[in-house]
Amino acid sequence: LLRLFLNFSDSLVALTDKGYFIKEQGQWRNLPGQDILLLFAGKDTVYGTPAPTAEPRIYEGLGKPLRQKLPLSKRIISMFAGRSGVLWIGTWEGLVKYENGQLADQSALHPVFNDRIIGISELSTGELVVASLSNGIAVYKNNRIVSLNASNGLRSPTVNTMTVHKDTIWIGSNKGLTMVQYKDNHFRTV
């Protein structure tokens, strides 16, 4: 089962339920892994799985040795490594922060963070953007949280997908696509 294709450096990576394949210099190479749902390839390579007890794994890079397993008993559905070096993990039960070797549950900070986290990204100015399945989106930086939901601008309370480009947030919902710009701690839907 093919889950995702992504470009990494000069390579093409294909994630499957039986591991991942990497195409380097015109040759495909199979690297083992069980039921990989997500892969973040930055300074480190992080794998997440859809299993109820996910145990994200951090490797030193694609095809490199395992550095650490994170004990996380929540089903992972999104991940994002911000510029500050923090790894944000979206689960069915909320947002988790991984920093300096420690996992910290962030779900009590805001209703958006206490929902199924379907997307995590970052604006060009460094604010974290978190999208939840039924509570809208939130922008988070320096303990300040600004949220947008169906009561103040979203077309639907259900968010299915989100992507960020510079300071524009694209939100896909059951009622279509919404383009949101974020500036000076305010949302503007377009």
What residues contact residue 184 under an 8 Å CB cut-off, 6+ apart? Answer: none
pLDDT tens digits for range 109-155: 999 999 999 999 999 989 999 999 999 999 999 889 999 999 988 88
Dist. CA 112–CA 16, nearest whole Å: 30
What local confidence, expressed as pLDDT, does residue 146 receive? 95
Helix (H, G, I), strand (E, B) or coil at 100: coil
pTM score, two decimals?
0.79
Dist. CA 127–CA 123, nearest whole Å: 5
Dist. CA 115–CA 86, nearest whole Å: 20
> Residue 186: is its pLDDT beyond 80?
yes
Type of residue found at 31: L
For residues 92-120, give the mean pLDDT: 92
Which residues is 81 bridged to in the sheet? 87
Mean pLDDT, the chain, as a whole number?
81
Type of residue found at 188: R
The dihedral sign for the CA sequence 93, 94, 99, 103:
negative
> Residue 187: is its pLDDT beyond 60?
yes
Whether residue 49 contacts residue 3, with contact meaning beta carbons closer than 8 Å, is answered with: no
Tokens of 126: 């460094």
Read off the DSSP letter of residue 154: -
Among 43, 53, 52, 46, smallest CA distance to 20 is for 46
Most confident of 27-36, 59-68, 70-79, 129-138: 129-138
Type of residue found at 75: R
> Residue 8: is its pLDDT beyond 70?
no
